Structure 1
Amino acid sequence: MISLRKTLALASVGAAMAVPAGAAGPHTGRPAGHWVTSWSASQQGLSGSTLTDQSVRTITHLSQGGSALRIRVQNQFGSTALAVDAATVGLSTGTDAAVVDGTLRRLTFGGRPAVTVAPGADVWSDAVPLTTRAQQDVAVSLYVPGSVRPGEHGAAFRTNYVSPAGSGNHVADRAATAFTRTITSTWLVSAVDVRNPDVAGTIVTYGSSVVDGEGSTNCGPGCSRTGTNERWSDVLARRIVAEAPAGHQLAVANAGINGTMSATGCPNASAGVAGLEGVTRLDRDVLALHGVKGVIVYYGTNDLAAGCTAEQIIDSWKTIFGRLHAAGIKAFLVPTTARPGYTDQMNRYRWDLGTYAATFNTCAGDCAGLILFDQVIKDPVRPNAINPAYDVGDGIHVNIAAQQAEAQIISLPMLYSGVS
């Protein structure tokens, strides 16, 4: 089993991670030093590109804001150490790689401007004061002096930026000029925390491409919108900001990875996603985040397609639920949704999965509640297929309209009930 956090062993980082005592927020009894993860992008492997004396500027979209922030730099899949010689954060202008004037802040790691992250490890920066609001974009810039293949999350569904090889340190540049290359992946940075005592905690959305955001740029035939944050998890985050009462505000962090399964051992699983199963990556992609109060598990569709049985999938769900429960975190389940490509046997297994989930509406007491996306997106005439108005064309993923519909059926009181 992967350790809960394989964090770089710097003694001074521990001090930087400590949550300071302070006055309570105006709406809660939480301390002023209360941290929650406001954005995440789970690493899934190494990029096919190599960074050499370059700067990377990643645009992160905060689900909640705060008075300060800190970032997670990760080298989960690296075979060599990752050196970062300088790092900054600043508010994005929202148009390109430029940063809003007066908002650029230098980051430190254990009080130092540079850090080296060992293979398989991660490190959190020190806190830096920067006032942010919910739904703001923050540019995170890292300078890599040597040559390394960066860890990546493959599908950013937005544009990120890289300076040319050999161009050096541009993390303090407010202008976009130096960042001449665009990428559609997320490199090096895998989470952003905000300090905000008025946010009760974080809800993590956990699953495969149906969580990661495939289809969320599709606005209809011949129409595409990139970088507009229209995954169902993004819509949920905006609903919480608009609708949840004071004291019950929550951040939302997306921990989806395209192509992954919940269970290990599915006979037709691709070798490229080995080690990325829901039961395998829970520690580093969910439990290592901060302030997590609930997890929405949307796994099982790929498991069925890869030949896993209902028993294997249910066992994996139970493992995930049990580990979350042991950590004091609520688990919510999205029962497996329709695919026209399922065989009759796969649909029988899907029925078994639905029966387990529907038992007491709490997975027979194993989860805290259900979120019925299948009812929203299935074709009312052909219930084993997606509604044609929502289908992007592959029978698996749904468009922006469906992402919005999915988010709208989620019960916010169910998510924040008992959260303090």
Structure 2
Amino acid sequence: MITHLSQGGSAVRIRIQNTFGSTPLTVDAATVAESGDGASLAGSAHRLTFDGHAKVVVPAGRQVWSDPARLATRPQDDVAVSLSVPGQLKPGEHGSAFRHNYLSPAGSGDHTGEASGSAYTQTVDSTYLVSAVDVLNPKLKGTVVAFGSSVVDGNGSTNCGPGCTELGTNRRWTDDLARRVVAEAPAGRQVAVANEGIGGTTSAAGCPGMPSSYKGLDALSRLDRDVLQLHGVTGVIYYYGTNDVGDNCTAQQIIDSYQAVFKRLHAAGIKVYVTPVTPRPGYTDPQNRARYTVDTYVKKFGDCAGQCDGVIDFDQVLKDPVKPNSLLAAYDNGDGIHANIAGQQAIADYISLPLITPGR
């Protein structure tokens, strides 16, 4: 599994997830290394341990962090995490890697220490088992988490124009933002940027049109695992609501869910920066009225009527000024919902770095 880092450091640790598994997950061996071309490694594989042991068993429904491994990395590096998993299982999967990851044939043995990558003969476009990678860097001032649905996950970020696709080039707006932080933020205000987008999810629970497969994936239900259990979180960019409106939640349901999440984050000392619900041309009139009501709440006083710490108006960035219920054509991925590469960059460029990066 290949992970793109927003910042570098002197060591790394990984989180292995068995969140949706019904049986324990056994990992016999794990390594981390600088990623090379394809499945190959650009440097030596560093063995990972878990409480000092090479083997780990992750209980069903749980996640486990490794011990730190001494691997020096730089901002924007890619690291390769290799896992040897015996037996048969249905692995936890994030379907929107927007890059290739690599599997070796079942029963072919442990290849976690091999540099060539030749054993990894199957290519997949999902991420299996690895749910987070930490870097050790005492100079960083925290982590900003982008939290939301497919508009955070990165849908559209491979679309570079008609007939043009960029796979594995890390062009999500969160990637663009991370590059801006490294290039533009002062040394005393450097932060990591983590992407916690899951396509199809909603802020509110129980929207009438929500598919049953997304039950339990509303923002509050996944807040502990996907935000509060990450390390060093100082701020959250909350980009939720597009699916809530599309799945026919009422404006009040959406606002109530926002307020419940913001309360939890503030109790943990985490600042919250909220974006208004961005447009979809397919919204009905009642849905657009709900969007307007939610966005009015978000923009009130510039801080959600005192319940958030700032507003980042992606709606203003993406909307067509002539047809404000639609995306600007130059930024439209083609589905009327998600931003293409140009739109992803425009979103990242709009964000005020002094707003989201803490001082000394």
Structure 1-normalised TM-score?
A: 0.85
Cα distance, 1:294 vs structure 2: 0.3
Q: Would you say the 8 A contact 2:245–2:287 is kept in 1?
A: yes
CA distance in structure 2 between the partners assigned to 1:147 and 1:199 by the alignment: 40
1:197 to 138, 159, 164: 138
| Residue equivalent to 2:10 | 67
Whole-angstrom distance in 2 between the partners of 1:171 and 1:73 = 15
> Residue 77 of structure 1 corresponds to which residue in structure 2?
20
Q: Deviations over 1:43-78 (max 9, x none)?
A: xxxxxxxxxxxxxxx000000010011100110010
Q: 2:240 aligns with which of 299, 312, 316?
A: 299
Runs (4+) of structure 1 moved beyond 4 Å? none
Give the % identical residues. Answer: 62
Structure-to-structure mapping, 1:362-381, within 5 angstroms: 362-381=303-322
State the Cα distance separating 1:348 from its structure 2 match. Answer: 1.1
C-alpha separation in 2, matches of 1:366 and 1:272: 31
Range with greater deviation from structure 2 (209-218 or 267-276): 267-276
Q: 2:231 aligns with which of 290, 293, 302?
A: 290
Alignment of 1:217-228 (within 5 A): 217-228=158-169
- Kindly state the Cα deviation for residue 398 of structure 1 after the two structures are TM-superposed: 1.2
CA shift for structure 1 position 358: 1.3
- Alignment partner, residue 47 of structure 1: none
**Preserved contact between residue 174 and residue 193 of structure 2 (Cα < 8 Å):** yes
Shifted more, 342-351 versus 130-139: the winner is 342-351
Match of 2:337 in 1: 396
Alignment length (residue pairs): 360
CA RMSD of aligned residues (A): 0.8
Secondary structure of the corresponding residue to residue 365 of structure 1:
coil
C-alpha deviation, 1:417, in angstroms: 3.6
CA distance in structure 2 between the aligned counterparts of 1:60 and 1:309, rounded to whole angstroms: 37
- 3-state SS of the aligned residue for 1:88? strand
Instruction: Indicate the residue corresponding to 1:320 in structure 2.
Output: 261
Structure 2: tracts of 5 or more residues without a match: none
Match of 1:406 in 2: 347
Residue 195 of structure 1 aligns with an amino acid whose one-letter code is L
> Of residues 167, 178, 200 in structure 1, which corresponds to 2:108?
167
Distance 1:368 1:234 in 2: 23
Residue 325 of structure 2 corresponds to: 384
Q: Output the CA distance in 2 between the equivalents of 1:137 and 1:304.
A: 36
Deviations 1:309-328 (A, max 9, x none): 11000000001110000000
Q: Which residue of 2 aligns with 1:5?
A: none
Distance 1:247 1:104 in 2: 32
Query: Which of residues 342, 345, 350 in structure 1 aligns to 2:286?
Result: 345
User: Aligned partners of 2:239 and 2:107: how far apart in 1?
Assistant: 42
Structure 1: any 5+ residue segments left out of the alignment?
Answer: 1-57
Q: Which one has a larger percent strand, Structure 1 or Structure 2?
A: 1
Structure 1, 297-306 or 344-353: larger mean CA deviation = 344-353
Structure 2 distance, partners of 1:245, 1:173, is 39
Instruction: Report the 3-state secondary structure (helix = DSSP H, G, I; strand = E; otherwise coil) of the residue aligned with 2:93.
Output: strand
Aligned to 1:99: 41
